[in-house]
Amino acid sequence: SRSCSCRLQHWTLLSVSLLNCLLSTACSVGLALAIALTVHSRGTHLVRGCNSSALPLDARGAIATNDCPFNTTRIYDTALALWIPSLLLAAAEAVLSGRSCLVALVFRGLGPCAHGYGTQQV
């Protein structure tokens, strides 16, 4: 854009990419923790809100009951099927945001690779 100064664009790119990198990293850590806890407990935390004694300890063998507000038959597999690709996408987003942050540092002449090979590569 010719209406804004290059300096403003570089600092905006740096701040937005740094913020996005931190948020994506936090999402990745949270999803990894959720996946680890779910696999470790075999899904019992997923059906904890249901107050039925008919629910088994393993969420994979759970049956749908009237005491539970959702269908518990496939909650374990569905949660993992949604969380694992989300974890991969959040990690990829964190990496790309980190690279954008490095590019912004190179543009401003800051950082370890500002006057070396990184400037030529950009």
Q: What is the pLDDT of residues 20-34, one digit of tens each?
A: 999 999 999 999 998
Residue 121 lies in a domain: no
Q: What is the pLDDT of residues 88-122, one digit of tens each?
A: 999 999 999 988 888 878 877 776 666 655 455 55
Domain count for the chain: 1
Residue 21 lies in a domain: yes
- Domain residues for the domain of 18 are 1-109
Q: In this structure, is the dihedral angle defined by the CA atoms of residues 31, 35, 36 and 37, taken in order, positive or negative?
A: positive
Residue 29 lies in a domain: yes
Question: Is residue 84 a contact partner of residue 35, using CB atoms and an 8 Å limit?
Answer: yes
Question: Is residue 116 a contact partner of residue 106, using CB atoms and an 8 Å limit?
Answer: no
Phi, psi torsion values for 116, nearest 5 degrees: -115, -135
Residue 45 lies in a domain: yes
Residue 72 lies in a domain: yes
Residue 90 lies in a domain: yes
